[in-house]
Amino acid sequence: MTALKIGDPAPQFSGLDQDGKEHKLSDYAGKKLVVFFYPKANTPGCTAEACDLRDNYARFEAGNYALLGVSADAQKAQAKFRDKYEFPFPLLADENKEIITAFGVWGPNKFMGREYDGIRRTTFIIDEKGMISDIITDVKTKKHAAQILD
């Protein structure tokens, strides 16, 4: 569970996307920013989540939102994921887990009875001034846009 709370300033981060372009929190000043952390590119749940966000992208743009996906995948894996599903938003390749750690979403997970350390699927909504306005920890992968926008 992340130590960050609603009302906290968002961690100042910097990371490279699938194309090697740098993204920083300050790049999004004046916009609402959705930072969604997902365990692994091209897996069923992560694909459902990202595709739902893609399919509702016009609604996000209309509401002055920008979206950033983050996982520990390599740039090449992120690029394949983006290209395969035509995502209109960047996917940050956080292989060193600097952003993942800053947001506190790395830790013990359970899947099919097996315990392991990994990314806990979590979404942060950051307001125009860089403050956390919402944290979604119970992500519904097929209806995630509605969780954010409704």
Q: Which residues are catalytic?
A: 46
Q: CA-to-CA distance for 101 and 20, rounded, in angstroms? A: 20
H, E, C per residue of the chain: CCCCCCCCECCCCEEEECCCCEEEHHHHCCCEEEEEECCCCCCHHHHHHHHHHHHCHHHHHHCCEEEEEEECCCHHHHHHHHHHHCCCCCEEECCCCHHHHHCCCEEEEEECCEEEEEECCEEEEECCCCEEEEEECCCCHHHHHHHHHC
Q: CA-to-CA distance for 96 and 118, rounded, in angstroms? A: 13
